[in-house]
Amino acid sequence: MTTEPLIRVEKMSFAYRPGVNVIHDIDIAIEPGEFTAIIGNNGSGKSTLMKLILGLLKPTQGRIIVGGIDTRTAKVSDMARRIGFIFQEPNEQLFANSVEEEIRFGLRNLQLAETEIEKRVNETLDLFGLQPLRQVFPRFLARGDKQKVCIAAIVAMHPQIILLDEPTTGQDHRDSRKIMELAETLNARGITVLLVTHDMPNVAQYARRVILLNDGVLVKSAATLEVLADQALMQSCSLVPPQITRLGLALQPLGFRPALKVQEMATQMAHWLDQRQATT
């Protein structure tokens, strides 16, 4: 038995003004539970596609179905129950006087019973390790903690999909890793994750599938390694594969394979050294 795609983009084009398409005849299907990265150079159409999936923009041609709902006719409240959006800049998303009120706000918009709201607030504070910060004014927090609060407020609403827009921009390495590991944890819990990013190492480390756009055209939708290891394709879109992937490609004459993670390359290197020692 096959499952219905959670997101279906069908023959979809979009123009901000008549006759000037910025998205051209795209077809995409995203299955429940996928962790997908949307990549492309500036002006490739990533942000526009994101807004179309969210229902903030309506297709000029074709359609987008999210969780069984056509975005062309969907209400904002319908979309909010299915898909959560994490802004690139957390201060654009934070406005409540405390962390717990930030989480509570979205739940009240869902018109849940107060007992259910309090239950979800406490569960979410526990899940994200935010109980000690529950009464803190969110804008006083460090940037990494602000981003965590934004994600927590969305997760509390139990969306099927979370869309992250450049979540590690402006973060140091430690906070970037925390955010991406959090996204990975949520995905392991069954939430479908869409990651819009320029960060190729994060794409390699976390995404299992990549949607590559260039000038509003879908260039490729495939497994992460298949896209990132295609140097000619990446170069044609003004993108550079991660360093570890490029290393594997450079070592192919010695029998190495392209890799996405350092551990994968380390395993290959150890095997190669063992073989050399066995033949000397």
Q: Tell me the per-residue pLDDT of 159-197, one tens digit each, with 9 for 90 and over.
A: 999 999 988 877 788 888 888 998 999 999 999 999 999
Domain over 1-82+160-239 is classified CATH 3.40.50.300 = yes
Mean pLDDT of 195-200: 94
Where, residue-wise, is CATH 3.40.50.300 in the chain?
A: 1-82+160-239
CA–CA separation, 122 and 235 (whole Å): 47
pLDDT number for residue 10: 97
Question: Which of 66-70, 83-87, 264-268 is predicted with the least confidence, judged by mean pLDDT?
Answer: 83-87
Q: Give Cα separations from 234 to 41, 200, 210, 225, 239 (angstroms).
A: 10, 11, 12, 12, 5
Residue 219 has pLDDT above 90, yes or no: yes
Asked if 196 and 163 count as a contact pair (C-beta separation under 8 A), the reply is: yes
Q: Tell me the per-residue pLDDT of 86-124, one tens digit each, with 9 for 90 and over.
A: 888 888 889 899 999 999 999 998 889 999 999 999 999
CA–CA separation, 12 and 2 (whole Å): 24
Other Cβ atoms closer than 10 A to 272: 14
Tokens, residue 256: 């190495």
CA–CA separation, 60 and 51 (whole Å): 13
- The position carrying tokens 């390790």 is 129
Q: Tell me the per-residue pLDDT of 25-55, one tens digit each, with 9 for 90 and over.
A: 999 999 999 999 999 999 899 999 999 999 9
Q: Tell me the per-residue pLDDT of 131-153, one tens digit each, with 9 for 90 and over.
A: 999 999 999 998 888 989 999 99
Asked if 51 and 76 count as a contact pair (C-beta separation under 8 A), the reply is: no
**Residue 74, amino acid:** A
pTM here is 0.90
Our measurement of the distance from residue 255's CA atom to the centroid of its chain's CA atoms, rounded to an integer in Å, reads: 33
Mean pLDDT of 73-89: 87
